[in-house]
Amino acid sequence: MIERTIEKLLFASRWILAPVYLGLSLALVALGIKFFMELFHLITEVVSMGEADLVLILLGLVDMVLVGSLIVMVMFSGYENFVSALDVDQGGEKLSWLGKLDANSLKLKVASSIVAISSIHLLRRFMEADEYIKSGNRDALFWFVVIHLTFVVSAVMMGVLDRITSSQHHGHKGEV
């Protein structure tokens, strides 16, 4: 009796995550506002803007789109994996990946997105390399590369570990 009550309570506690995922949608709204502010700034200043500045702003916009996509992916697949299945109308829109991302796949997608976002940040820093060199802060570029490579190695290791564990699970399916 006590065990069953505890198990039901634990199972029901997954709904605590629902407002958290809803909060991510509000974060997505904030990101959208910032995106359109930057886009407005770009459009109003494009004529007087240098090429390097244009590229930096565009990289910032791409960065925000990647972060927004990451938020959507975590929000939907996290909700589906940990809270409840999303009931989407049969005739309505359906994302092709919805319902196909388990927790491990989600972690790999998040890691890949972080590497992509880090790549954009690193590219932005390299475009500003002259400023770092002039200010005597040459080591900063080195550390940006080290941090980026840490993300890359982490994502690769997560993929390798996922492949190892999934192949081990597939090998055990036929065994009793």
Contact 74, 106 (CB under 8 A): yes
Please state the φ and ψ torsions of residue 15, each to the nearest 5 degrees. -70, -10
pLDDT of residue 92: 64
Rounded distance between C-alpha atoms, residue 34 and residue 31, angstroms = 5
Is the pLDDT higher at 128 or at 74?
A: 74
Contact 61, 42 (CB under 8 A): yes
Rounded distance between C-alpha atoms, residue 71 and residue 53, angstroms = 27
pTM of the model: 0.74
How high does pLDDT run on average in the chain? Answer: 85
Q: Where are the domains of the chain?
A: 1-84, 100-176
**Rg of the Cα trace of the chain?**
22
* Confidence check: pLDDT of 87 > 80: no
